[in-house]
Structure 1
Amino acid sequence: MTSPRPAAFALPGDIATLTGGYIYDRRLVEALRAQGRAVRVIQLPDSFPTPDDRDMDAALDQLAALPPDLPVIIDGLAFGALDSRGLARVRAPIVALIHHPLAQESALPAGLADHLWRTERANLALARHVMVPSPHTRDMLIQRYDVPEDRITVVRPGTDRPICRTPATPGQPPLILSVGILHPRKGHDILIAALARLRDLDWQGVIVGTPWDRGHAAELQAQVGALEIGNRLRLAGQVPGEALQELYQRASIFVLATRYEGYGIVFDEALSHGLPIVSTRAGAVPGTVPPDAGILVAPDDPQALATALRGLLTDPQARAAKAAAAARAGALLPGWEEAARLASAVLEGLAP
């Protein structure tokens, strides 16, 4: 039996970083290796997507040194920001992995957003193939970035089944759980404002997420203090895997007030734990959260988010029905071996 073709996987910074995109990258590499494929991880400078000249040159030199018979998957956080002329020097067949286009990130200055749109569009024309986590991202690349549909493969994230296969065991008062990096795009400020509107109800809340930067994390903590809900809402920061699984098991509702998602791996986590979901109609969320398992509202609307949460908190039957629907959907989610199968087909389909 022929061994799978070796490949490289290039990404900025540490692949063990605990954010959705990095978790996707790490689990995909692990799954490809489990199928017998040798995968070399290349750590590019962690300053992407806004590297200085030295880091840009270092990244391009690393990629240009790859042999022409070694396919390389380049994570979109770096790929979309690489200098196009330098990227054209890379001899290795390039597969771009676009979690979501860089120009769609929240809180970007207009000039930077325009630069990233132009750069990523030019770089996508240089890629032999493109992998994306959702049909939403695929459609965006076709419509806004002129990528031919036959050069895109949707590789949906895999999902790990909870160690405990019993339904979630929520306690009292109900625990509202949110998981997402402390970044403006995740809308934690909207969630905090929404929870402040629910002071008359009995609940506890936890927001789990690695700080994007100290300033934004401090702003969120100050908002919690100013609204006087610090005794009920905890910004937990980065939480180890086992402790996070315990939070999922104890939770009654999962909520993420995101302003945009290219996929949103945490929604699959919530579904696999049988949790009803409250989120927004942003990006790929409507295609990820089944209608009977959640409630989606407009982004940047704390009152609408509060109304959705209030409905689930005050109607146990409705909450139980959505939890059951979430558990059914979660049981059908693919594992990482399926993601690796699709990625392998892409790699094997690249002509030498």
Structure 2
Amino acid sequence: MTPPPVVEVHGRPRPSLETWYVVPAGIDDPARPSGGNRYDRRVLLGLEELGVPVHELRAGDLATELAAAPDGAVVVVDGLLAVAAPAAVVPAARRLRLVVLLHMPFSEADPTLARAERSVLTAAACVMTTSDWARDWVIRHHGLMPERAWVAAPGVDPAPPAEPSPAGARLLCLAAVTAGKGHDVLLTALETLVDLDWQLTCAGAVDVEPGFVAGLREHVQRSGLGDRVELTGPLADAEVAGALAATDLLVSASRHEAYGMAVSEALARAVPVVVTDVGGHPEAVGAGGVLVPPDDPDRLAAALRRWLTEPAERERLRSAAARRRTELLPWSATARRIAEVVDALNPVGPWPVSPVTTRPRTRP
């Protein structure tokens, strides 16, 4: 009989039991890229590299997928799926060692989801969040026991530094075009900067909220920004890398962020960021950029004007981003964190591990 694979956790080898990982059916759909899908895929690859045996299940009917796992199995479920199907998740949690991977607290942005989210999270054996902020939020708002809430922050891929332009005029917003991502606030801020040289590329899905996108396009034309603002639609991974390599500044007026993978992806290339002070954004930014209040186009415009008109400010932020680049953790660290959780739920008996991330929470 072939012995089970061995995973080394905390420097000590031990046999690993099989794990089930339930992901959205469209996890690899190039037309609908998302931070959550990229996170799931990178963690799955990382677990395989660590030798953790994982069964990937693509959810059609979540109840059916959960029924495929044997009693007592460790099952990781993408939080988007879990919160949408409490009737399937809560009963399954009675026979499975269920881990809900909560990419963001959905009820923070949509309070109507609070009851469903609370029932799922409190039924789970463990909840994984992507930031200290998100962990604290679910503990406070859902009464989650702290020892059952963990953090596995997103990693980054190594990338060469972007080559900045002298004027810093190339701006990039990397997000689905939705109200929650605050593109309307960003355009309002940029309307006050028409006396300056800049170009904005908005890269992200444009079919999630068609009405909002239509209003945004009308806003662009009405304000005379048609030759300065481009909505590209979703980009493939290679195209995202190219866009980041060719930008000077990442901007985001997002109203809700559990972490902000676009921020860390920019900083991995030493690209500075000007983003809103919401959710887990400060953890992603560290000292590598500027935080501004959400829904405040005047403060956002002021930060962008300083960037565009003051060479010393551009140099300061570029130096800060270059330092932050050296602090970011790779995806292998994220996968190892998930492996620790799987190991802790292993019925053979867990090794003692801390439920709190080792990444410090910093502000610029």
The equivalences for 1:143-292 within 5 A come to 143-162=140-159, 165-170=160-165, 174-211=169-206, 212-291=208-287
2:82/2:89 contact within 8 Å kept: no
- Given that 1:194 and 1:306 are in contact with CA atoms closer than 8 Å, whether structure 2 keeps it comes out as yes
Conservation of the 8 A alpha-carbon contact between 1:276 and 1:294: yes
- Identical-pair percentage: 32
| Whole-angstrom distance in 2 between the partners of 1:302 and 1:172 | 22
Query: Structure 2 counterpart of 1:317, which letter?
Result: A
Partner of 2:13: none
Corresponding position of 1:305: 300
Corresponding position of 1:295: 290
What RMSD in Å do the two structures reach over aligned CA positions?
A: 1.8
CA shift, 1:240, in A, is: 2.4
**Superimposed CA distance per residue, residues 57-113 of structure 1 (whole angstroms, 9 cap, x where no aligned partner):** x322321232124311111111123234763145321001111112122xx4xxxx3
> In the alignment, does 2:319 pair up with 1:319?
no
Amino acid at match of 1:139: D
- Which of 59, 63, 77 in structure 1 is aligned with 2:80? 77
User: Equivalents in 2 of 1:205, 1:195: separation in Å?
Assistant: 9
Q: TM-score, normalised by structure 1?
A: 0.89
Q: 3-state SS of the aligned residue for 1:80?
A: helix
Q: Distance in 2 between matches of 1:86 and 1:2?
A: 28
Counterpart residue number, 1:34 = 49
- Structure 1 residues 171 and 215, CA gap change in structure 2 (3 angstroms): farther
Deviations 1:154-200 (A, max 9, x none): 101110011xx244333667101110111211111111111111100
Counterpart for residue 55 of structure 1: none
Q: How many residues get paired?
A: 330
Residues 168, 248 of structure 1: 8 Å contact kept: no
Letter in 1 for 2:345: L
Q: Which residue type is aligned with residue 75 of structure 1?
A: D
Matched, 1:346 2:341: yes
Verify: 1:97 aligned to 2:101, yes or no.
yes
- Name 1:53's counterpart in structure 2: none
* Distance across 1 between alignment mates of 2:306 and 2:251: 13
Gapped regions of structure 1 (runs ≥ 5): 46-57
Aligned residue for 2:21? Answer: 9
TM-score, normalised to structure 2's length? 0.86
Secondary structure at 1:10's aligned position in 2? Answer: strand
Per the alignment, do residues 85 and 343 of structure 1 end up closer, same or farther by CA in structure 2, a change over 3 Å counting? closer
Tell me if structure 2 keeps the 8 A contact 1:168–1:274: no
Structure 2 counterpart of 1:74, one-letter code? V
The amino acid across from 2:25 in the alignment is G
CA distance in 2 between partners of 1:177 and 1:131 (Å): 30
Distance 2:198 2:157 in 1: 28
**SS at structure 2 position matched to 1:88:** helix
